[in-house]
Chain A
Amino acid sequence: DTAVSQTPKYLVTQMGNDKSIKCEQNLGHDTMYWYKQDSKKFLKIMFSYNNKELIINETVPNRFSPKSPDKAHLNLHINSLELGDSAVYFCASSQGQGNTGELFFGEGSRLTVL
């Protein structure tokens, strides 16, 4: 049973489209995250939610909107996709507010914008 699962794992789409990536964790964790990994493998946090409340919102275009319907789910919706949005997006979760740093990651969703 996968602890942190993301769908879809691969997504190819045209510029200007809107797409969503879903994430679910079955670990009972309170905090969930979205990270972006660019083509050079650099990982950067985008958002963090604790008990459905936004606690970290890095400098991310407002075309990106996270939604947490409950503490086990954190979805990422992207409007008006641009070429620069091509990346691997990782969902992760942690117990508490993550101050022990032990994150459990999903397998990533590779987004390709053409």
Chain B
Amino acid sequence: AQTVTQSQPEMSVQEAETVTLSCTYDTSENNYYLFWYKQPPSRQMILVIRQEAYKQQNATENRFSVNFQKAAKSFSLKISDSQLGDTAMYFCAFIYSGAGSYQLTFGKGTKLSVIP
């Protein structure tokens, strides 16, 4: 079974600064995807960024980038130039991409507050 661990229940960052959210995971599989989802106070879950395990290059989406360390099973999210709208719960998630039924496993989340 896969597990996803987010060790920072809460974090805060000043507006325009950079913040890094940590995530580690445990799996014996070789083919999988990793994700960061954002849940703002409006509740709706939104996909922020996705990383395929077979790609060595770290994924980036505008101000969001990841540091994927496959050997260490680490997948951190860096938010640059933080904005007030980044205030949200952030969930790291894992899915096995081999044959079989597909289940997205979430970490317990990190609550990020961006301070003006």
Interface residues of A (CB under 8 A from B): 40-45, 48, 55-56, 88, 90, 92, 97-103, 105-108, 110
Contacts and interface: CB of A to CB of B under 8 A. Distances in A.
B109 A102 contact: no
Interface string B36-50: 000100111111001
Given A98-B95, A100-B97, A101-B50, A88 B43 contact: yes
Contact of B95 (A55, A99, A107): A99
A8 to B, nearest CB: 14
Most chain A CB within a 10 A radius of its CB, from B96, B97, B102, B108:
B102
B19 to A, nearest CB: 19
Contacts of B39: 41
Interface string B73-104: 00000000000000001010111111001111
A41 B98 CA distance: 28
B109 A98 contact: no
B45 to A, nearest CB: 4
